[in-house]
Amino acid sequence: MKRLSHLDRKGKARMVDVGAKAVTARAATAEAVVRMRPETLALIRGGAVAKGDVFAVARLAGIMAAKQTPALIPLCHPIALSSVKVEIAAEPPDAVRILATAKASDRTGVEMEAMTAASVAALAIYDMTKGVDRGMTIESVRLLEKKGGKSGHFRRGPDGGAR
């Protein structure tokens, strides 16, 4: 079995040294789904949530979170992101889907930045609408695709598995 790169020979956590790796173009897309009552989704779509524009706030929260990933995830390298895009769409009758894409030219990947963006955007949707629906769930936070780097291209298949 392959050794985990964030553990030394004694099993202690360490930051991986990426200094010798080549700078390459990196991209990753992650998703999250927020499940809610249909009435809650109708309020969001109608712009009737008391706290304001739910999707605009969630989009901004996701972008800001991606930029803060190394402060949130231990041992995650700071990366000079060139782009973070957060797309949010209603999926009637009871869901919102978030797609977050992060890009950079660096020595390590941007998967954690994309997943952090999707997760925090989902949390922002929950926060904006919890006053009307505390039963919402955040689900399917997962990496959909990553490009660049030594490990190559990963894309999640339609069955949920890797291809």
Cα 114 from chain centroid (whole Å): 4
141, containing H or E segment: strand 137-147
Structure tokens at 68: 């803060």
Locus of tokens 């800001």: 64
- CA proximity to 101, closest of 93, 111, 91, 92: 111
What's 60-72 look like in SS3? HHHHHHHHCHHHH
Q: Is 30 within 8 Å of 118 (Cβ atoms)?
A: yes
Considering the candidates 53, 94, 127, 159, report the single residue annotated as catalytic.
127
Catalytic residue check, 17: no
SS3 120: helix
Task: Name the residues annotated as catalytic.
Answer: 127
